[in-house]
Chain A
Amino acid sequence: MNLEQQLELQAWVDGELSSADATRVAQFVGANAEASALVAELRMTKSCLVGNEPEVKLPESGDFYWSKIRREIERTARAEPEAATLSWAFAWRRLIAPLAGVAALVFIAVVSINQFQQPLVDDSAKNLVEVENLSEDIGSISYKSQAENMFVVYVYKKDYESESNLKSEPIDDGFFQ
């Protein structure tokens, strides 16, 4: 018998075959002494093991074991609201950053359009060389070109360290529900 046949015999013993395959294998076993002996061995091993798993006792006192578990439950319960609050603040900040950038661009666009459309009543606009940065997450570089009568602002998102330690652990089910 080759390995494939042997594995099929095992699948038959374990009830993993379709009824058609099971019938075919049963006939094969009935007619083949080697197959019959292997099936007998597999069944014997199976019957030895089922219900005879070695018994093992916890190697420490129940109270001590529980006290460690309880401490950990309480510790993670305390950490969760803090993480949720920080996570909320972090999410809000991430929303504020692009909004602030958009607001800055709109402000700049309005200023620039006004400069093009209306004659300057005074010289104060041409001295405007900086745009106040409304967000700590957004950086900006600005310059005014007198010759081109143009005011350019370059807005970019600053890199900041990701707060991966605040991420909640993904729920891992991994088995049938």
Chain B
Amino acid sequence: MATKPEKPAVPDEKLVRRSQRGDMVAFEELLARHRDKIYARAFSMMRNEEDAVDLSQEAWVKGWQRLKQFHGDSSFVTWMTRIVINLCLDQLRKHKRQRAESIEHLDQELGGVERQMPTVTVNPTEGLERSELRARIDRALKLLSHEHRTVLILHEFEDLEYKEIAKRMECSIGTVMSRLFYARRKMANLMASYKREEMG
């Protein structure tokens, strides 16, 4: 007996239109498709599961409330990602006012440390399986301060320009540039150190 062909998935645009008319089943389907990505973005910025779950849920609630403002200029998941990024940035700003800065983080912010790091000339990720590369990137990202990690995420993973990052992070373009520079140099040196560890 011939197997039935699978029904093609309803495109996001259609689900969004249904959701805009109040169809919560359609919205649930959108959530099911993209919840991991939205959660992952929140987690990469907050580095805390509980905060990431709370903020990603808040993003979905806001997404539902603001659906009528979505006009399809970008994809739905890009639009949702922007919502969760803004929520994470707000939360990080609140945290920054409350938390004491470690000496290391103050060093990072003051700058100058990145200029003392040796230039990495050999690609430390050559030959790595993708999963191993991602694991090392994750390990290195944990060691950055929130500010440096955020600017790296917004530039490298969200593909935002300096000007847009500065606007979102409420800082100058110069600050974005120096934080990005530090973050990249730190990442390169950390990846090189992991390679040295592996080689014994």
Contact = CB atoms under 8 A, between A and B. Distances in A.
A6 B174 CA distance: 12
B75 to A, nearest CB: 14
A54 B53 contact: no
Contacts of A52: 130, 133-134, 137
A32 to B, nearest CB: 13
Contacts of B191: 45, 48
Contact of A45 (B133, B157, B188): B188
B99 to A, nearest CB: 23
Interface stretch (A55-63, A142-150, A151-159): A55-63
B106 interface: no
B135 interface: yes
Given A49-B157, A69-B57, A58 B71 contact: no
A56 B184 CA distance: 22
B3 interface: no
Interface string A156-177: 0000000000000001111111
A40 B35 CA distance: 36
Nearest to B43: A56
Interface in A32-71: 34, 37-38, 40-42, 44-46, 48-50, 52-60, 62, 65-66, 68-70
B48 to A, nearest CB: 11
B162 A16 contact: yes
Given A38-B119, A69-B31, A69-B60, A53 B40 contact: yes
A130 interface: no
B137 A10 contact: no
A37 B57 contact: no
B155 interface: yes
B66 A171 contact: yes
Contacts of A42: 184
Residue of A16, A58, A60, A171 most packed against chain B (CB within 10 A): A58
Interface string B56-80: 1100110011100101010000000
